Amino acid sequence: MFNESIPVQSRDKIGDWVLRVGIGLVFALFGREKFTDPMWVSFFDQVGVGQWFRYFTGVVEMAGAALVLFPKTTRIGALILAITMAVASLIHVIVLRHPANVIITGLLCVGLFAFSLRMRRAGA
């Protein structure tokens, strides 16, 4: 009566693709914003390292987004993005002294790390 029409393995592959494309789009947009949104100029001024770090962060986020899209590089892309979010969390706490802002970057870091572990178990 309740037969599954899509095999479990096929459903996992579809789910992985949906997650990879979602992560890729989100971080491609995040990375692009580093180049175009004036809000990021003032944010990185507050960080105090220089605007080169804004460009570097944008490139890293866009590269991580691209790596997540390809099955053989998904794990490394997710780990790069997780590390980027971990550093962002540390900057919010240590440099800017805004610990409440860690909620978003911290959740992204944990989610990306968990996704990377899932891909490891899946053999991707």
Contact 88, 47 (CB under 8 A): no
pLDDT at position 1 over 80: no
| Structural domain includes residue 41 | yes
| Structural domain includes residue 64 | yes
| Structural domain includes residue 3 | no
Q: Give the per-residue pLDDT at 2.
A: 55
The total domain count for the chain is 1
pLDDT at position 16 over 90: no
| Structural domain includes residue 107 | yes
| Structural domain includes residue 83 | yes
Q: Give the per-residue pLDDT at 3.
A: 57
Task: Please tell me the distance from the alpha carbon of residue 63 to that of residue 11, in angstroms, as a whole number.
Answer: 27
pTM: 0.84
| Structural domain includes residue 1 | no
Q: Give the per-residue pLDDT at 14.
A: 84
Contact 61, 27 (CB under 8 A): yes
**Domain boundaries, position 25:** 9-122
Mean pLDDT of 11-23: 86
Tokens matching residue 12:
């996992």
Task: Please tell me the distance from the alpha carbon of residue 74 to that of residue 20, in angstroms, as a whole number.
Answer: 8
Q: Give the per-residue pLDDT at 118.
A: 81
Tokens matching residue 19:
């997650």
Contact 80, 67 (CB under 8 A): yes
